[in-house]
Amino acid sequence: MMVMQKGKRERRTARKIIKLGDKRECREEAKKTNDLTKSLEENIKILKDKFVNDSTVIFRRFQNRYLPRVKCCIVFIEGMIDFKHINMQIIEPLMEQDLRDLSTSCNLLEDIKNKVLPVNDVEESDDLERILQSICYGDTIFLLDGYDTALLVESKGWEVRAITEPESGKVIRGPREGFTEHIITNISLIRRKIKNPNLKFKFMQLGKQTNTAICITYIEGIALESVLVKLEQRLNRIDIDGILDSGYIQELISDAPLSTFPTVGYTERPDVVVARILEGRIAVIVDGSPFVLTVPHILVENIQVSEDYYDHFIFGSFNRFVRAVASIFTISIPAIYLALVTYHQEMIPTQLLVSLSASLEGVPLPTSLSLIIMLLIFDILREAGARMPTAVGQTVNIVGTLVLGQAAVEAHLVSAPVIIVTAISGITTLIVPSLIESLVLLRFILLILSSILGLYGYFIGIILIYLHLMSIRSFGVPYMMSITRFRNHDGQDAWIRAPWWTMTLRPKIIGAKNLVRQISNRR
Amino acid sequence: MRKKIVFIPLPAVMLFMLAACWNYREVNEMAVVVGAAVDKGVENQYILTVELLDVSGGAQTQVSTKVLSVEGETVFDAVRKLISVEGKRGYWGHTRILIVSEEVAREDIIEAISFFRQDAEARGDLYVMVSKEYDAREILNSDIPLGDVLSESLAKSLENSKFLYETPETRLYTLNQALRSGKISPALPVVTLLSMDDKTVPVLSGAAIFQKSRMIGYLDEEETKAMLFLKNEIEGGVLVTKIGTGRISLEIKGNNTKTRIKTEDDQLMLDITVQTKAVINEVTGNPEFSYMEMLDGIKRLSEEQLKSKLEKIIDKARYYRADIFGFGQKIYEDNPAKWYEISDNYEAEFANIAVNLTVTVEIPNTSIIFKHLELGE
């Protein structure tokens, strides 16, 4: 009885809180309409109320030397602004310049905006919400006594990371710049590569608390409208507290969020983004994240590396083939080895069987269990290595290779072939970094299936994976596009990288709006 | 819709039911049988002798074999009794050879091979051979001429017999086919023991020929080669032609034997043409020919001698009433109606069949030095 009562009370309080929340929201809405007044002091008070308990917000009052009745105040947040800029371009002209000839003007604020402030971006606004956001985003607010509007003066200036070579997707040949956390820098990196007015940037703000800026980038006339509309719909639907990385958005706009295969692409490299935009894709840049998203994203993009296009096409094709084979190997090798050794011994050549049975002699664990354990240990090492400081990382390597590689075999804890299989499978996972998330899990699923059913289990798994891949789409584009067909221009950029003079068309569906990329360059 | 959902797990369930015999089994838990031998013991018991792989592991793999003999009512009975001796279940997926003793073969070879034919593990491509003069188990117990595993080395030498063409390369499935069709009599390789220095090693020699499933006689190496000529299975090997006291070795570069069936007045007639391409490889003695004479002479002599060999083997097969050349198959392919007419009494029919044999030996080129080495004065 008591428990029930308690439960009821809890439910009731919860209901109350929800009601209260509603009320609070209502009050906030009411405040929004409560805009600035004509009195400077009151305006300052309104803003101070808003930023109560935040001492990084600085209110600086001053007057003009020649026209002391021009009382004004600038508001900005320390750390978000460029001090030199504020001193030289905002305070100095307003203090030192002779404003007497403006004294007769009917709209002093307008004149200050037009004739006094030597700043590139000044905006007039009376929307309190907009003003608050501007302050938070590094603008300086200029308030003038006697006016109920404020000037939003651009003064952003915070420490940004320099453009460095990205950690992921390193190349031997090709541009070495990578995106940073600063959205404007990232946009400039893209803009620098496509000098074309058709390149469009559409800004949005997402995240109720963080107000994160995101930017949709595409080339008008190449990108598909249907994809753009879908993307905007999905972005508008997002109702989230905060966005700390583009990964949030990737998950929220993905077609198959339960699938471990990525249906939204991401990259740290501007050249990759530009190449994808040129093929008709749309990029989403998120402030604060060096990873730019691209949609639609199909499976074959995972094995396309920017360097393929910079190297000789035969070498590029070979590398791509290696990547494709490796990603199949990484999920198959442990499962097939297990199936052969424990179910289908007749498929092993006699000589190999002899050496296998010799190495298995005296090993206590069954092959299936030792494979699963070794693969788990490999993943533990991988995860440990990823988070460790570089100095400690080496220790992990040594411990991993020595302890697992040699000592375990010599102590007869696992057999040598299991180590070899784990090593091959582990190395081949790393070859396609964007697929690691799915391949690591699939490897275990296939391994377990084949430990229960042998090769039958393995093939059931492969068939299910294939069906899954065939069933998903990314923004209306089939995920397996151009992998399953070899005709015409379907296959020219999938299993191989065709020479540039033959790649006259953009990929099907994605580039359908403007299919012809170039006329043939063959002499 | 509900119906459709029911159908989704159906393929998965069916996979379980339609899958063949398999089970989770670790490699080191099975006794790999590489070779087997079947003998007849007392009171109609079968003695199964197996050669098992005995691998000791670790960094250095050491392979040796163990030979065990078990007695049983049937071969399969003996196979299962093996567990009590060895402790592990035998694994037959890697068995290379099956040796059947002459005694068993003369009685009925089907008894000995039916386990290997019907078992899921045993392969169809294992070699079946007959042991001559010795028991089959003595062959498996003999010394290993090369390598670590006797069965392996026997299987290898049978595989390499293609450079010799003196033993038929008969696998279990060819034997099965021959036995089932009745249009060809099987011929199995013969293995016997040879004393070399202080070792006794198995050697292959000739063939054992069967009528239906019973062994009826042996062929020596020369006869075996002649049989292979008529079966059109020769692709290489050596043809030795006698010229007076000298000998000339011809290396066979290719052979094509065509067997045509003619029916004249309801009488079957076989028209066999043997066309052999060979080059002169070795000349001993001192045949006194000029170059052109020599080529012509060698060609004529080789043809004559090969033809007489072929005729001899046909006569021998007729005597045994065993159609080891597969003429029955040819008749069936050419004239099925005729085959069904004579099939009931084919042995007798075969003994009286008329054969017209044409042999041509073509010598397209010779070695550069074709004359015998002459001693200086």
Query: Tens digits of per-residue pLDDT, A355-398?
Result: 888 888 778 888 999 999 989 988 888 888 777 777 777 777 77
Q: Whats the size of chain A, residue-wise? A: 523
Same domain (yes/no): B116, B106: yes
How many CB atoms neighbour CB B105 within 10 A?
27
Q: Name the least confident of A177-191, A486-500, B351-365.
A: A486-500
Contact A344 B61 (CB under 8 A): no
Q: What is the pLDDT of residue B148?
A: 81
Contact B61 A358 (CB under 8 A): yes
B123 touches chain A (CB under 8 A): yes
* Residue of chain A minimizing CA distance to B93: A346
Q: What is the pLDDT of residue A1?
A: 41
Q: Residue B39 and residue B101: Cα distance in Å, rounded?
A: 5
Q: Which long-range contacts (CB under 8 A, 24 or more apart) does A427-430 make?
A: A428/A326, A428/A327, A428/A329, A428/A330, A428/A333, A429/A330
Q: Name the least confident of A85-99, B276-290, B348-362.
A: B276-290
Nearest CB to A456 within list B15, B58, B59? B15
Domain ranges of chain A: 40-153, 183-297, 310-478
Q: Name the least confident of A31-40, A222-231, A337-346, B196-205.
A: A31-40
A450 touches chain B (CB under 8 A): no
Same domain (yes/no): B189, B231: no
% chain B with pLDDT above 70: 89
Please indicate, yes or no, if residue B314 is contained in any of the structural domains.
yes
Q: Identify the band that residue B12 occupies on the pLDDT scale cut at 50, 70 and 90.
A: low
**ipTM for the complex shown:** 0.74
Same domain (yes/no): B278, B139: no
Same domain (yes/no): B282, B317: yes
B14 touches chain A (CB under 8 A): no
pTM (predicted TM-score):
0.79
* Residue of chain B minimizing CA distance to A366: B26
Nearest CB to A355 within list B61, B96, B152? B61
Do B362 and B278 meet the contact criterion of CB atoms below 8 Å apart?
Answer: yes
Q: What is the pLDDT of residue B366?
A: 66
Please indicate, yes or no, if residue B11 is contained in any of the structural domains.
no
List C-alpha distances in Å: A131 to A116, A121, B211.
Answer: 21, 14, 107
* Residue of chain A minimizing CA distance to B15: A456
Best residue in B17, B22, B29, B88 for a mutation probing chain A (most A CBs within 10 Å): B22
Choosing from B219, B236, B271, the residue where a domain stops is B219
Q: Residue A152 and residue A386: Cα distance in Å, rounded?
A: 44
Choosing from B219, B239, B269, the residue where a domain stops is B219
Instruction: Give the mean model confidence (pLDDT) for residues B121-127.
Output: 87
Same domain (yes/no): B129, B268: no
* Residue of chain A minimizing CA distance to B8: A464
Same domain (yes/no): B82, B227: no
Q: What is the pLDDT of residue B165?
A: 79
> What pLDDT, in 10s, does the model give residues A460-475?
999 999 999 999 999 9
B61 touches chain A (CB under 8 A): yes
A345 touches chain B (CB under 8 A): yes
CA distance B54 to chain A (A): 9
Nearest CB to B57 within list A342, A362, A368? A362
Q: Residue B226 and residue B309: Cα distance in Å, rounded?
A: 6
Count of the separate structural domains present in chain B: 2
A456 touches chain B (CB under 8 A): yes
Q: Is the pLDDT of residue A234 over 90?
A: yes
Same domain (yes/no): B90, B169: yes
Q: Identify the band that residue A326 occupies on the pLDDT scale cut at 50, 70 and 90.
A: very high
Same domain (yes/no): B91, B233: no
E strands in A370-516: 473-474, 477-478
Choosing from B194, B219, B244, the residue where a domain stops is B219
Same domain (yes/no): B178, B197: yes
Q: Quote the DSSP letter at residue A292.
A: E
Same domain (yes/no): B176, B238: no
* Residue of chain B minimizing CA distance to A460: B12
Q: Name the least confident of A134-143, A399-408, A436-445.
A: A399-408
> Which range of residues forms the domain containing residue B285?
220-372
Q: Which residues of B touch A346 (CB under 8 A)?
A: 93-94, 121, 123
Highest mean pLDDT among A347-351, B219-223, B241-245: B219-223
Contact B55 A367 (CB under 8 A): no
Q: How does the average pLDDT of chain A come out, rounded? A: 85
Instruction: Give the mean model confidence (pLDDT) for residues A309-315.
Output: 93
> What pLDDT, in 10s, does the model give residues B60-118?
667 788 899 999 998 889 988 888 888 888 888 889 999 999 999 999 898 888 888 88
Instruction: Give the mean model confidence (pLDDT) for residues B197-212.
Output: 87
Contact B24 A363 (CB under 8 A): no
Instruction: Give the mean model confidence (pLDDT) for residues A209-226.
Output: 92
The CA dihedral of B227, B230, B235, B241, to the nearest 10 degrees, is 70
> What pLDDT, in 10s, does the model give residues A38-93?
888 888 888 888 888 888 899 999 888 888 888 889 999 988 888 888 888 888 88
> What pLDDT, in 10s, does the model give residues A385-438?
777 777 777 777 777 777 777 788 777 888 888 989 998 998 898 888 889 889
Residue B368 is part of a domain; what is its CATH number? 3.30.300.210
